[in-house]
Each structure stands twice: as C-alpha cells, then as structure tokens.
C-alpha cells in the first residue's frame, strides 16, 4: 500500500510569452558560449525535446535532433507563443520504503486513488488597471479548472468583479488571458502535467474608443477590431487621470511604483482605457486528502533577444532576496567566485552589444540636467562619479569626428576586453581600487547617470541601473581575493 505524504509542482515558477502564431514555440535552452579566436563569446540557443498536445490532450515528443533550426516566428512573422508545462511531483511511502519523484497514475492507484482525484486550477490576472485606481471593478482576472481526466483545452476568459456599472470588463465580454489543458498520461510520458497556453498578445479597449481618441493627433489613427472594443468606458480605469494629484492609485511621480510610459494616455493624462492580455497568477493541483500544491506562472511579451542574457536576471533577483547572506557566510573558493564574475561579465557584454550607447548617453545627460555636476570628461582615467562621455558633436574631439558612434564603439571594445578575466586581474593588481571605483553600488547615493558600470541603463524606477546587492558583493569579494586587499 502506497501512502502519499506530500505533493508539489515543478517548476515552481514558469514564464509564458504571448504570440499569435498557430502553435506553441519549440523547446530550446541556452548553451555555454563557444570559445574561439574568430567567434565572439556569446550565448547560443540549442533545441530540446519538445512536447506537443492534440485537441484531446494526447502528447507526442519531437526529439531535439529533429529540428534543423530554432524558429521563433512563423512564415508570417508572427511569434510562436511560449506555453509552459507544470508537472506534479510527490513523496510517498511504499511498504516502508521512501520514494520521491513524478506522481503517475500507477502511484495514485497504489494509494487507492485515480486520475479523477486530481484537480488542476489556474487563476491569472492583469492587475495594472487596479494598480492605478485601487477599484475592485478594474481587476481583470480569470480562473479555469480541469480534472486530470478532463484533457480538453479550457479558456482563461477574464472578467471583472463588483457592481455591473463599475466593471472594467462587463458581463458578456471577456479579455482572453490564454488557456489551460491537462495532459493525458501515456507510456512515454506517464507523469501528470498541465499546460498553460499564452494568449495572442492583443489589446482590448473601451466601446467608445473611436470617439475618445478622435481629437488626439497621437491616437486618432489607432484602430482596434470591433470584437476587442468591449470594455466599460465608465469604469475607473477608462476615466482615470494617470499621475494626477489626488489619484487613488500609486504615489504620484514615484517611478518605483509608477514608471513613466507604463499606461496609454491621452492629452492631460487621461487613460485611453486599454488593457492587454498579459497576466500572472497561481497554478494549483489538488490530490484528494493532501494539501494543495502551488506554482506561479507569468505571461509577458516576447523576448526580442533570446540569445542575449541580461546581466541581472530573475534568478539574480530571487537569490538576492533569499541568499544574500551567502556572500558573508559561505567559504566561496576562488574558482567559484571567478565563475560568477565571468558569467556576469559575459552577460554584460551581451547586454551592451544590443545598446546604442551614444543615444543612451544623450538621454542620460538630459535626465541628469542638474546644475553643479562635474563637466563631461573624455579622459578614460578620470573619476567616473558624475562624469559622462562627451556628445558626438563636441568640436575638437577627434573620436567623435572619426566615428559617428564613439561611445558605442569604445564600450563594446572595453566590454570584450573585460571578458578576458586575466586582463581584469592584471588591471586590479596595478590598480586595486579599480572595481570599487567603477562599479556602481546598489541604490547609489549620488543618483545620477555617469560612467560607472553598468552605465547608461535605467531600472524600472527610472534610476541608474545596478547589479543586485548579492552580485555586487560577490564581485567585490572576488576583487579583494585577487588583490589581497
């Protein structure tokens, strides 16, 4: 007799990406960057075995070597949506022996249960309108349920709660946030899985959209199909003044909770009333008599640079919150630290190569706009705090007359050089303060855009971007071990 002790979902967090192509994206993963004298050290993509479902939830596996190339778009230039799977895992006892792994129908049967005793549920929501208005009627949320025996796709058709007059999504209308489908177990794939399908990546608007944008030259040519002009024009979101004084939503002009450009507005800050179909929420799986297993899912827009890794990833952010003290508590070896620092520098190079750093430098100079800052400096050895690269049109600057994008050119060259850790070690031995001087601390007290790294980038709060605190301390620890200081 099997006794199931607990269950959980893997992965505990997964991401979908919207797309309007007719099938989900094939599976792929990042690979180690190739090292070659004639190849830039950058991440590449490799195909993985891919699971596809038919209308009845029957799964087939296409092996990775069957793909000639990784396709992110179809022939009509539409993105393939990324549609993650969740698998039920558990721990159980069988005749006194402990087991752990995927829960299968055989495990359920051994415990006196069946597929009908397993229930999946997904609740997702787009809460951006609610974030601004704090009115329950502006919540856009959907729930879909399916027993493990019910393998037909279920729509995540979202509505809004509360009195009808206050609902952003009125009765009879829906904002489709995707769908779910339970997978029928098979001999090849005996585990219990659920797939969350990302939606197409479309926008919905109020029923009076044409009238409200007619007088605004920036919007009057904007069009939505009639089937997506379904939202309530009298809802709190459709009548909100974004950033206005006295608004019930986020603190006005505080970019930590209300970044500029997050909401579509007409003249005077009035909301256009648009809602997209991105979302995040909870995946639940309940097995009779056991506590519910939870996972999280988030669905966002496509990644236009899938082979370029950001230097601060979601994993970095989570590790910073959960494992920040590791830097002080763990006895990290030099090899371990070097692997971390090398990875950060590789990702910094990939991020840097995607930027027009000259345009970003101009934007940063305009953002600073503060009297009393040190003047721009072209001296590569000048103190970086408060200094910026000169504008391309500065008279007498040879670099700006030879190269139309001198900051971009110089930045790319220096990032490639820093990816050779031996060069950075030599630099640190000559100048032990190099990292301390050039690496911007998290939540920097100066709060200005300058030449400290990462330069010219801004975080979601509009402030100069920085490494996570954990990354920052790991780089400093490595630097101290190199220099012995």
Q: What is the DSSP string of 408-457?
A: HHHHHHHHHHHTSHHHHHHHHHH-TTHHHHHBPPTT-SS----SSBSPS-
**Could you tell me if residue 223 is inside a domain?**
no
CA distance 122 to 299: 13
Owning domain of residue 441? 314-483
**DSSP string over 108-143:** HHHTT--GGGEEEEEEEEE-HHHHHH--GGG-EEEE
Residue 376 has pLDDT above 60, yes or no: no
Instruction: Tell which phi-psi region holds residue 96, choosing left (phi > 0), alpha (psi between -120 and 50) or beta.
Output: left
Q: Does residue 364 come out as left (phi exceeding 0), alpha (psi in the -120 to 50 range) or beta?
A: alpha
Residue 287 has pLDDT above 60, yes or no: yes
Quick check: is 418 in a domain?
A: yes
- Average pLDDT over all residues of the chain: 88
- The DSSP letter of residue 64 is G
Helix (H, G, I), strand (E, B) or coil at 479: helix
Co-location of 325 and 459 in the same domain: yes
Q: 310: which residues sit within 8 A by CB, 6+ positions away?
A: 347, 351
Q: What is the mean pLDDT of residues 375-394?
A: 65
Q: Which of 274, 300, 326 is the last residue of a domain?
A: 300
In this structure, the number of other CB atoms found within 10 A of the CB of residue 34 comes to 11
Chosen domain end from 255, 273, 300: 300
Q: Tell me if 389 is assigned to some domain.
A: yes
Same domain, 187 and 66: yes
In b/e form, how buried is each residue of 217-232, taking b as 16+ CB within 10 angstroms? eebeeeebeeebbbbb
Q: Tally the domains of the chain.
A: 2
pLDDT number for residue 477: 93
In a domain, 226, yes or no: no
Residues 294 and 151 in one domain: yes
Same domain, 290 and 348: no
* One domain, residues 13 and 112: yes
Whether residue 294 is found in the same domain as residue 424:
no
pLDDT digits (tens, 9 = 90+) for 16-25: 999 999 999 9
pLDDT at 392: 62
- Range ranked top by mean pLDDT from 16-20, 354-358, 411-415, 481-485: 16-20
Both 7 and 108 in one domain: the answer is yes
- Residues 342, 450, single domain; the answer is yes
Between CA 41 and CA 405 the distance in angstroms is: 22
Q: What is the pLDDT of residue 231?
A: 98
pLDDT exceeds 80 at position 195: yes
pLDDT > 90: percent of the chain: 62
Note whether 50 and 189 are same-domain residues. Answer: yes
d(CA 450, CA 370): 12
Q: Which helix (H) or strand (E) holds 146?
A: strand 140-147
Looking at the fold, whether 456 and 395 belong to one and the same domain comes out as yes
* 359, part of any domain: yes
In b/e form, how buried is each residue of 126-165, taking b as 16+ CB within 10 angstroms? bebbbbbbebebbbbbbbbebebebbebbebbbbbeeeee
Evaluate if pTM is beyond 0.85: yes
For residue 244, being part of any structural domain is answered with no
Which is it for the CA torsion 219, 220, 224, 230, positive or negative?
positive
Of 269, 274, 267, 268, the closest CA to residue 216 belongs to 267
* Tens digits of residue pLDDT in 28-51: 998 876 665 555 567 888 999 999
- Indicate whether 58 and 85 sit together in one domain: yes
**Does the bond joining 11 to the residue before it have cis omega, within 30 degrees of 0?**
yes
- Are both 413 and 294 inside the same structural domain? no
Q: Is residue 41 part of a domain?
A: yes
Report if residue 92 sits inside a domain.
yes
Please give, one letter per residue, the 3-state secondary structure of 213-238.
HCCCCCCCCCCCCHHHEEECCCCCCC
- Distance between CA 279 and CA 294 in Å, rounded? 17
Contact 192, 104 (CB under 8 A): yes
In this structure, the chain runs to a length of 485
Tokens of 113: 């249960």
Instruction: Work out the burial of residue 95: count CB atoms within 10 Å of its CB; fewer than 13 is exposed, 13-18 middle, 19 or more buried.
Output: exposed
Q: Which of 300, 331, 350 is the last residue of a domain?
A: 300
Helix axes 406-418, 421-430, angle to 10 degrees: 90
């Amino acid at each position: 007799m099997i006794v199931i002790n607990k269950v959980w979902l893997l992965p505990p967090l997964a991401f979908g990406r919207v797309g309007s192509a007719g099938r989900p994206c094939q599976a792929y993963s990042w690979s180690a960057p190739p090292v070659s004298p004639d190849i830039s050290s950058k991440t590449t993509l490799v195909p993985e075995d891919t699971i596809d479902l038919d209308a009845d939830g029957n799964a087939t596996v296409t092996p990775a070597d069957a793909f000639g190339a990784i396709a992110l778009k179809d022939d009509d230039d539409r993105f393939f949506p990324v549609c993650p799977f969740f698998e039920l895992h558990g721990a159980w006892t069988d005749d006194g022996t402990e087991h752990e792994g995927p829960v299968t129908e055989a495990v359920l049967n051994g415990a006196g249960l069946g597929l009908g005793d397993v229930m999946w549920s997904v609740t997702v929501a787009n809460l951006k309108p609610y974030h601004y208005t704090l009115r329950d009627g502006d919540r856009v949320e959907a729930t879909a349920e399916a027993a493990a025996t019910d393998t037909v796709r279920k729509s995540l058709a979202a509505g809004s709660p509360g009195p009808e007059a206050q609902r952003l999504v009125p009765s009879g209308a829906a904002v489709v946030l995707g769908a779910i489908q339970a997978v029928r177990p098979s001999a090849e794939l005996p585990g219990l899985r659920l797939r969350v399908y990302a939606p197409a990546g479309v926008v919905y608007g109020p029923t009076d959209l044409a009238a409200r944008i007619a007088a605004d030259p920036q919007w009057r040519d904007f069009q939505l199909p009639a089937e997506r002009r379904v939202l309530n024009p009298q809802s709190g979101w459709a009548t909100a003044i974004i950033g206005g004084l006295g608004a019930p939503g986020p603190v006005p002009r505080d970019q930590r909770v209300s970044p500029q450009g997050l909401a579509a507005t007409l003249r005077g800050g009035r909301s256009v009333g648009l809602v997209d179909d991105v979302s995040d929420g909870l995946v639940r799986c309940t097995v009779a008599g056991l506590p519910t297993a939870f996972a999280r899912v988030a669905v966002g827009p496509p990644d236009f640079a899938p082979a370029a890794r950001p230097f601060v990833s979601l994993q970095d952010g989570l590790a910073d919150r959960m494992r920040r003290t590791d830097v002080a508590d763990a006895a990290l070896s030099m090899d371990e630290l070097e692997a971390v620092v090398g990875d950060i520098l590789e990702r910094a190079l990939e991020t840097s190569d995607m930027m027009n750093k000259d345009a970003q430098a101009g934007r940063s100079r305009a953002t600073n706009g503060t009297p009393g800052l040190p003047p721009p400096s072209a001296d590569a050895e000048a103190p970086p705090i408060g200094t910026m690269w000169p504008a391309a049109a500065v008279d007498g600057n040879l670099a700006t007359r030879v190269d139309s994008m001198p900051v971009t050119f110089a930045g790319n060259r220096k990032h490639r050089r820093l990816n050779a850790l031996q060069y950075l070690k030599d630099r640190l031995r000559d100048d032990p303060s190099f990292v301390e001087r050039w690496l911007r601390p998290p939540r920097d007290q100066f709060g200005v855009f300058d030449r400290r790294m990462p330069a010219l980038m801004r975080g979601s709060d509009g402030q100069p971007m920085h490494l996570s605190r954990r990354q920052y301390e790991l780089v400093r620890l490595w630097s101290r071990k190199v220099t012995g200081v």
